Structure 1
Amino acid sequence: MDNKHKIRHTVRYLAVDILESVENEGAYSNLLLNKVIQSEKLSPKDAGLLTEIVYGVIQRKMTLDFGLSAYVKDPKKQPSWVTNLLRVSAYQLVHLTKVPDHAVLFEAAEIAKAKGHAGVASYVNGVLRNVQRNGLRDWKTISNAKKRISIGASMPKWLVAYFIEQIGIDETEKLAFSLLEDPFVSVRLQSNALSRDEVMGLLQESGYDVMPSPISAVGIRVRGGKIVDSPLFQNGTLTIQDESSQLVAPVGGLKKDFLVLDSCAAPGGKTTHMASYLSAAENGKVIALDMYEHKISLIEQNAARLHVSDRIETMVMDAKEAGKAFPPESFDAIFVDAPCSGLGLMRRKPEIKYVKNAQDFLDLHQEQLLILDSVSPLLKKGGRLVYSTCTLTKEENQMTVRTFIENHAEFAIVPVHSDSLDKKSFTPEGFVQIYPHDYGTDGFFISCMEKS
Structure 2
Amino acid sequence: MTSRDAKTYEEAVEIVLRTLVKAERIKPTQYARRLVMKEMNPSREARSVSAGLLYSVLQKRGLLDEVIEDVLEITDDVTELDTWVRNAARIAVNEVVFEDGDPDEVADVLHGLVRRLANPGAAAIVKAFTLDLKDYEPPEPEDELDRLKWEYYHPRWLIERWMEMFGDPDEVVALLEANNRRPPLTIRVNTLKVDPEELAERLQRKYRVTVEPGRFLDEILKIPEGLPIGEMPEWEEGLFVIQDEAAALASAVLNPKPGEVVVDLCAAPGGKTTHMAQLMGGEGKIVAIDVDEVRMERLREIAERMGVLDCIETHLMDGREAPEKLGREFADAVLVDPPCSADGTIPKNPERRWRITPDELERLPKFQYELLKAGAEMVKPGGRLLYSTCSMFPEEDEEVVRRFLDEHPEFELLEVKVGDQGFDMPEACRLFPHRHETCGFFIALMGRTG
TM range (shorter): 0.7 to 0.9
Q: Which residue of 2 aligns with 1:88?
A: 91
Please report how far the alpha carbon of residue 147 of structure 1 lies from its aligned counterpart in structure 2 after TM superposition: 1.4
Please report how far the alpha carbon of residue 159 of structure 1 lies from its aligned counterpart in structure 2 after TM superposition: 1.3
Structure 1 CA distance, aligned partners of 2:197 and 2:423?
28
Q: Which residue of 2 aligns with 1:191?
A: 191
> Do 1:58 and 1:350's aligned partners in 2 also have CA atoms closer than 8 Å?
yes
Structure 2 CA distance, aligned partners of 1:189 and 1:265?
19
Structure 1 CA distance, aligned partners of 2:210 and 2:124?
47
Structure 2 CA distance, aligned partners of 1:12 and 1:121?
15
Please report how far the alpha carbon of residue 333 of structure 1 lies from its aligned counterpart in structure 2 after TM superposition: 0.6
Structure 1 CA distance, aligned partners of 2:31 and 2:233?
25
Q: Which residue of 2 aligns with 1:268?
A: 270
Normalised by the length of structure 2, the TM-score is: 0.82
Please report how far the alpha carbon of residue 267 of structure 1 lies from its aligned counterpart in structure 2 after TM superposition: 1.1
Question: 2:217 is paired with a residue of what secondary structure?
Answer: coil
* Structure 1 stretch displaced more, 287-296 or 29-38: 29-38
Residue 298 of structure 2 is aligned to residue 298 of structure 1: yes
Please report how far the alpha carbon of residue 122 of structure 1 lies from its aligned counterpart in structure 2 after TM superposition: 4.8
Q: Which residue of 2 aligns with 1:152?
A: 151
Residue 448 of structure 2 is aligned to residue 451 of structure 1: yes
> Do 1:289 and 1:316's aligned partners in 2 also have CA atoms closer than 8 Å?
yes
Question: 1:395 is paired with a residue of what secondary structure?
Answer: helix
Structure 2 CA distance, aligned partners of 1:249 and 1:51?
30
* Structure 1 stretch displaced more, 42-51 or 285-294: 42-51
Q: Which residue of 2 aligns with 1:235?
A: 237
> Do 1:425 and 1:434's aligned partners in 2 also have CA atoms closer than 8 Å?
no
Structure 2: runs of 5+ lacking an equivalent: 1-9
RMSD: 3.5
Please report how far the alpha carbon of residue 243 of structure 1 lies from its aligned counterpart in structure 2 after TM superposition: 1.0
Please report how far the alpha carbon of residue 34 of structure 1 lies from its aligned counterpart in structure 2 after TM superposition: 4.3
Please report how far the alpha carbon of residue 167 of structure 1 lies from its aligned counterpart in structure 2 after TM superposition: 1.3
Equivalent residues in 2 for 1:325-344 (5 A)? 325-344=325-344
Aligned residue pairs: how many? 429
Equivalent residues in 2 for 1:26-425 (5 A)? 29-39=29-39, 45-46=45-46, 49-64=49-64, 72=71, 74=73, 76=75, 80=81, 85-93=88-96, 102-108=104-110, 114-115=120-121, 121-122=127-128, 124-128=130-134, 130=135, 137=138, 142=141, 144-168=143-167, 169-191=169-191, 194-206=194-206, 207-224=208-225, 225-279=227-281, 284-418=284-418, 421=419, 423=420
Structure 2 CA distance, aligned partners of 1:229 and 1:152?
37
Q: Which residue of 2 aligns with 1:3?
A: none
Identity of aligned residues (%): 27
> Do 1:427 and 1:433's aligned partners in 2 also have CA atoms closer than 8 Å?
no
1:10-35: per-residue Cα shift (whole Å, max 9, x none)? 76577567657878x89754454445
Q: Tell me: CA distance 1:305–1:125, structure 2 relative to 1, closer, same or farther (3 Å).
A: same
Question: Which residue identity does 1:239 align to in structure 2?
Answer: V
Structure 2 CA distance, aligned partners of 1:364 and 1:149?
27
> Do 2:92 and 2:130's aligned partners in 1 also have CA atoms closer than 8 Å?
no
Normalised by the length of structure 1, the TM-score is: 0.82
Question: Which residue identity does 1:149 align to in structure 2?
Answer: L
Question: 1:270 is paired with a residue of what secondary structure?
Answer: helix
Structure 2 CA distance, aligned partners of 1:258 and 1:93?
57
Q: Which residue of 2 aligns with 1:431?
A: 428
